[in-house]
Structure 1
């Protein structure tokens, strides 16, 4: 009996430690060997199909899974020498110093070879073969940061037929003070499985987190809060006729419909598409589709993700061109391995100025994107890292009027107000491929077709336990709603 208990305990202990080791989280920091500065967005791979990217502060974490202590970790970054170390070595020395690569920094233009335009044309010709990913499942982790600064937010109640105008105006002014000149910041994080099949693309969101600022004020629920303070008293079994200035917006709209639209941001919907996958997203950019507007220069070659690549730079050569950037195209199969671009000086991605006519002005004045590709088992390319940043200026000065479609004209609720909002917005996205595996057969849309965000006021490091993610930055870890 005693020996049986001992064997049971040994077996239980062994299982416990095996489970512990398999769930162990490997953590580290990547720095420049010469300057000791953090190296952000370095690739950390335990296998060709499983790994992570360091955050902008050089920190990373990933689940060890069933890899042993003697398994190798491969660490690489553009412009640095690739290094390999065992998991045991990483546990002993979690700070990894990468040496700048003089070979990679010294770009040597190849001898008689293709011109920049010819290389770009070969990329386009081969894009349907190289960038049409199929038969795989890729797990992506994404983190978005949204920042809004309302410089002016004013609501002037002109008329109301069913409530005390002075009291409601005072409530509106108190609401305005919460927004004016206050920077509103929020983060969202999601884990998504993307299935790429011959019949198309299917996404399955596994988990989603939303961090909101202060009193729950962010632009996702701004409309909901504004409705609560302003239009709550308009609730009615009847619909409304709504006008904005001289423009009729909707002849039969109910307050319930408007309220439900405001709450739509609480869910994350599955769809048949995913951000920046495949050739289509980059292919429609004018520096690819309208090459006559740009000047391209072949700078030489570099090694990117273990592949020798032509290094092309581009800049506007016509007034309509907007971007400057770089393209790294594989010298072997002409696949696009890495690219980045941003708006050229004095350029705007989209601009609209109807301020004096309709009270509307919009300017998308900053747009950056950076994408690093990996190869799937079938030899096609898929994004390993996607970074974007977009900033805009928004100005709206409009009037709104609501008239209830009550059968008795004398009992109709009426409200008229003017509102002015002027703000700058900034949205950054970081998306990383965590793991990839072959996927056979048809994948049907997942049910339900959406998930609800877990809304928090403070970041919980345990929230993503059991997942490999982009390590939280200091700003995310320290996020705390007031």
Structure 2
């Protein structure tokens, strides 16, 4: 072999070594119709994996794996793609759909109808699902707010001059012009450790960020804070006040500086509360969103045929409500061997609503959830029990609040003069939220490991105004969507 060929072989070998030392691979999962496949599973070996985001994009670490390791890309209803690690590079990966009608598939000696399948599902719940588990969870929360109307009126101001009242009205008008019919968005990413045993939950946070541009924030919380700041600037900071709303007393003795005081550090109990609600609503029981699995007389079902996940056949069943008490329609998938429900896609059916509260005429409050879309995937663990692998839920809400507020100065001595500042405000807004939970690795909780699990009361959250890929580098997360990557480019008037 001459010197040129020797150098070429060495150069190619060096390229291969450099490749296998690469930290990660990024790509996109697509269907044969060139449509993004959201939340597909990308797995290396038995334990290491990630999922694609809503736009089909993913990034996965490849460090420490042998070149002959197999990468599996899977999604329910599609053929699993297997790729040797030495051929797994950053690019688009196409999955081919696989679906069969029942007449083409022989699963058992007896062909089951929907009612029989659902009965087997219910009979197998206790033996199929793990309610007490611990996991590392990546949690992304997206909030979009649009104030539609804001009104303000001073009803009584004992100590305020006409010029001061004019200034307050001008400041509030500026707040209206800034916010009304303008949309703001923020994203919160949290990587945490979670453990549940019976009714107890423990949490500690590994890392947390909040992507928000404070100058563009038009969320109801921020507007409420700005509104209160305008009002409390006119009150005596050295005195205490009674705070009343209509006939109801909210506070008996409150300092102006403490009205809507910003919390210094967030509490993990708030995350625990959110997770508890999400998991309860997406659990296989009658009290969750999934009552359609139990109330068979109140829903219509269609057994569409057989789909596949990792080569295993699953029943595909669509459902629609036929009674007003049932809210959701959608599709769910049942494992043909153990009759576990492994995936559910659901949304509010026509003329159905989520939570509703209408006390508009009585106390000036109205709230309605007019959109709920969700998806949950369950995965079998080493203990042969299913627990959540992924939850995605999107909601849209309408809120109306019209309330009088009254600050009444507490008289502390004979020299004090009782003063009252009374005003009325009205806010009407629409908002939407998206919560995504990726359960990275679940294991069964027992008394010993739950007792040893570290629980924290508080955590630190880093506030950022522009996406920075270095912040979450080397962490297991759901890849950011384009709107996160381009967050800093948003027009302030959007």
Gaps of 5+ in 1: 1-13
| Cα distance change, pair 280–54 in 1 and its aligned pair in 2 (3 A) | closer
Match in the other structure for 1:407: 412
Equivalent position SS for 1:378: coil
Match in the other structure for 2:127: 129
The Cα offsets for residues 259-301 of structure 1, whole Å up to 9 and x where unpaired, read as 23x5378555463854544797342133245443222333333
CA distance in 2, matches of 1:266, 1:167: 35
Deviation at 1:346, TM superposition (A): 1.2
| Cα distance change, pair 196–375 in 1 and its aligned pair in 2 (3 A) | farther
TM-score, structure 1 as length reference: 0.86
TM-score, structure 2 as length reference: 0.84
CA distance in 2, matches of 1:471, 1:141: 11
Query: Is contact 1:365–1:391 with CA below 8 Å preserved after alignment?
Result: yes
Equivalent position SS for 1:431: strand
Match in the other structure for 2:224: 223
What does 1:205-354 correspond to in 2, within 5 Å? 205-213=205-213, 215=215, 217=217, 218-234=219-235, 236=237, 238-260=239-261, 262-263=262-263, 266-269=266-269, 271=272, 274=276, 276-277=278-279, 281-283=283-285, 284-285=287-288, 286-354=291-359
CA distance in 2, matches of 1:404, 1:109: 79
The Cα offsets for residues 338-396 of structure 1, whole Å up to 9 and x where unpaired, read as 01211111111122333333322222110111011111110111222211110011111
How many residue pairs were aligned?
462
CA distance in 2, matches of 1:436, 1:318: 37
Gaps of 5+ in 2: 1-13
Equivalent of 1:423 in 418, 422, 429:
429
What is the Cα-based RMSD across aligned positions, in Å?
3.1
| Cα distance change, pair 438–148 in 1 and its aligned pair in 2 (3 A) | same
Equivalent of 1:83 in 81, 84, 103:
81
Match in the other structure for 2:8: none
Match in the other structure for 1:7: none
Query: Is contact 1:294–1:315 with CA below 8 Å preserved after alignment?
Result: yes
Aligned: 1:184 with 2:191? no
Aligned: 1:468 with 2:476? yes
CA distance in 2, matches of 1:349, 1:383: 23
CA distance in 2, matches of 1:193, 1:98: 32
Match in the other structure for 2:28: 29
| Cα distance change, pair 245–439 in 1 and its aligned pair in 2 (3 A) | closer
| Cα distance change, pair 159–263 in 1 and its aligned pair in 2 (3 A) | farther
Aligned: 1:146 with 2:146? no
Equivalent of 1:443 in 434, 444, 450:
450
